[in-house]
C-alpha cells in the first residue's frame, strides 16, 4: 500500500466508541490521525479552569497516549448556522427535526473528508455501530451486529463518494464487547464511561432551547387552539412549535381521557388531538429521498422501513408518485407518522436509502387514488 492508503482519519469525540476505533485501527496497522470537532459548547462539558470542553481534552489525552497525530476543528460557527438553524427552522414549520441525520452527511463526514485530504488520509473512520458491504458497484450500509446500538438509521443521506472512504471498525461488535476491549487494552476508566446525549447541543428540553435561541418565538407564533378531528376547539395551547406528533404528556389540557397530538397545522396554529387509534395508518408520504438505486427500492420484495430510530422495521411497498414523492404502504399498521423525521428503507440488514417524512395532508385521498399501483 502507498503511504496515503495506510493513513486513516478518525473522528474522535473522546468517548468510548471513537477511542476503541482508534486503538483497533492502530492494531490493524493503520497510521491513525485524529480530529475532534468542537461544535457546540455545553456548560456541563467544561471542567473549571479549562478553556476546552472535556471531550476535546479527553481526545487529546488519548491521542498522546497512543502516539497519534491529533487536530481540533473549531466549527462552532458553521454548526450553529447549518445544524442548529435547521433544528429551529423545522420546529417553526410544525415539523419534528432529525438533527443527527442532517449532521452526518452535511457536516461531520464532510468536514472529516476535508481534514482527511489535508492530512493525506485515504480513509475516514468513526465509532458508529454499523457495517459496509460492496455490491453491484455500490457501497451499502449494513446494520450493526448490536441491535440495541445499531446506528444505520442516521446515515442514509451519506453519498457514495463518502461511503467509499468510510470505515466502521465497531460494526461487528456489541457495546459490551467494546467496553471489554477497551479495558483489556489498559483503558479501564474509559471503558466504564457514560453514554453521550441523544442530541449533542441540547441538555434539557428542546422547548427551552427554542426559547433561548429564538427569543421572539412566542411573539411570532403565540397561543393557538387545540382542536379535535372535526375542527372543534378543545382549549388553548402555547404555540404549535412546542408539540410533536404522538405526544401525550405535557399537553396541559384535561379531556377526561388520554389525548395524543394527531396533526399540527402551522398556518392556522392549531394542534389536533385525538386518541391512540387515530394515529394509526397503513400509508405514508416521503420526500427528499436519497437511495442507492430507485429501481431496486421500487422492486424490492423484502422491503421494510423504520420511521423512528428506536422503532421496529415495518414490511412495506413503495411506489413513485408523479410529484416525485414516494408513497409507502405498510404491510402492518404504523403509528404516529411524524413529518420531518426520517424513513429509512432496508432489505434485511442492508440500507437501501431513506427520505424525510412529508406532510401527510390528504394521505387517504392519495392512497385511494394510487392503491391499484401496489397490486
- Residues flagged as binding site: 11-18, 37, 127
- Secondary structure of 205-249 as H, E, C letters: CHHHHHHHHCCCHHHHCCCEEEECCCCCEEEEECCHHHCCCCCCC
- Residues flagged as binding site for ATP: 11-18, 37, 127
Tell me which of 103, 130, 300, 316 is the catalytic residue.
Answer: 103
Positive or negative, the CA dihedral 306, 19, 46, 110 is: negative
Stated pTM of the model: 0.95
Rg, the chain, Cα only: 22
Residue 70, number of CB atoms within 10 A of its CB: 20
Domain residues of the chain, as ranges? 3-191, 222-274, 280-374
Tell me which of 22, 130, 200, 316 is the catalytic residue.
Answer: 200
Class level of CATH domain 280-374: mainly beta
The answer to whether 33 and 68 have CB atoms below 8 angstroms apart is yes
CATH topology (fold) of 3-191: Rossmann fold (3.40.50)
The answer to whether residue 100 is catalytic is: no
User: Is 2 a residue whose pLDDT tops 90?
Assistant: no
The Cα 200–Cα 184 span in angstroms is: 29
The Cα 81–Cα 330 span in angstroms is: 36
The Cα 345–Cα 349 span in angstroms is: 10
Write down the residue that cell numbers 414549520 correspond to: 93
Q: What's the whole-number mean pLDDT along residues 94-117?
A: 94
**Residues 243-264: b if buried by 16+ CB within 10 A, e if exposed:** bbbbbeeebeeeeeeebbbbbb
Domain 222-274 has CATH 2.30.30.280: yes
The answer to whether residue 200 is catalytic is: yes
Q: What tens digit of pLDDT does each residue of 221-263 get?
A: 999 999 999 999 999 999 999 999 999 999 999 999 999 999 9
Q: What tens digit of pLDDT does each residue of 179-229 get?
A: 999 999 999 999 998 877 668 899 889 999 999 999 999 999 999 999 999
Query: In the chain, what percentage of residues exceed pLDDT 90?
Result: 94
The Cα 343–Cα 316 span in angstroms is: 12
Q: What is the mean pLDDT of the chain?
A: 95
Sheet architecture: strand order including 260-265: 233-237, 224-227, 270-274, 260-265
Q: What tens digit of pLDDT does each residue of 300-341 get?
A: 999 999 999 989 999 999 999 999 999 999 999 999 999 999
The Cα 246–Cα 37 span in angstroms is: 34
The predicted pLDDT at position 71 comes to 98
Q: At 315, is the secondary structure helix, strand, or coil? A: strand
Out of 26-35, 40-49, 122-131, 237-246, pick the least confident. 40-49
Residue 338, C-beta contacts closer than 8 angstroms, at least 6 positions apart: 95, 96, 244, 245, 246, 307, 308, 357
Amino acid at each position: 500500500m502507498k503511504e496515503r492508503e495506510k493513513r486513516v482519519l478518525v473522528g474522535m469525540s473522546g468517548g468510548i466508541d471513537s477511542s476503541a476505533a482508534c486503538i483497533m485501527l492502530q492494531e490493524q496497522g493503520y497510521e491513525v490521525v485524529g480530529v475532534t470537532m468542537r461544535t457546540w459548547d455545553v456548560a456541563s462539558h467544561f471542567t473549571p479552569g479549562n478553556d476546552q470542553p472535556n471531550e476535546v481534552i479527553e481526545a487529546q489525552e488519548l491521542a498522546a497516549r497512543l502516539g497519534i497525530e491529533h487536530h481540533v476543528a473549531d466549527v462552532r460557527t458553521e454548526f450553529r448556522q447549518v445544524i442548529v438553524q435547521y433544528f429551529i427552522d423545522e420546529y417553526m414549520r410544525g415539523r419534528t427535526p432529525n438533527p443527527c441525520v442532517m449532521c452526518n452527511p452535511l457536516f461531520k463526514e464532510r468536514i472529516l473528508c476535508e481534514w482527511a485530504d489535508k492530512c493525506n488520509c485515504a480513509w475516514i473512520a468513526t465509532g458508529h455501530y454499523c457495517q459496509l458491504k460492496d455490491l453491484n458497484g455500490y457501497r451499502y450500509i449494513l446494520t450493526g451486529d448490536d441491535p440495541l446500538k445499531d446506528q444505520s438509521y442516521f446515515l442514509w443521506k451519506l453519498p457514495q463518494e463518502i461511503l467509499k472512504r468510510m470505515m466502521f471498525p465497531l460494526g461487528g461488535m456489541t457495546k459490551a464487547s467494546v467496553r471489554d476491549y477497551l479495558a483489556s487494552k489498559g483503558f479501564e476508566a474509559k471503558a466504564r464511561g457514560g453514554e453521550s446525549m441523544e442530541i449533542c447541543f441540547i441538555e434539557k428540553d428542546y422547548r427551552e432551547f427554542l426559547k433561548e435561541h429564538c427569543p421572539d418565538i412566542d411573539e411570532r407564533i403565540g397561543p393557538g387552539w387545540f382542536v379535535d378531528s372535526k375542527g372543534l376547539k378543545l382549549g388553548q395551547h402555547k404555540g404549535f412549535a412546542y408539540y410533536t406528533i404522538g405526544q401525550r404528556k405535557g399537553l396541559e389540557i384535561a379531556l377526561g381521557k388520554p389525548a395524543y397530538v394527531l396533526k399540527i397545522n402551522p398556518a392556522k396554529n392549531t394542534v389536533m388531538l385525538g386518541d391512540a387509534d387515530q394515529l394509526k395508518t397503513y400509508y405514508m408520504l416521503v420526500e427528499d429521498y436519497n437511495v442507492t438505486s430507485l429501481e431496486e427500492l421500487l422492486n424490492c420484495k423484502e422491503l421494510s422501513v423504520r420511521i423512528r430510530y428506536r422503532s421496529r422495521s415495518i414490511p412495506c411497498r413503495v411506489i413513485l408518485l408523479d410529484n416525485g414523492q414516494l408513497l409507502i404502504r405498510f404491510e402492518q399498521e404504523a403509528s404516529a407518522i411524524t413529518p420531518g423525521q426520517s424513513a429509512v428503507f432496508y432489505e434485511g440488514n442492508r440500507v437501501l436509502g431513506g427520505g424525510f417524512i412529508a406532510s401527510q395532508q390528504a394521505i387517504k385521498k392519495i392512497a385511494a387514488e394510487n392503491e391499484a399501483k401496489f397490486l
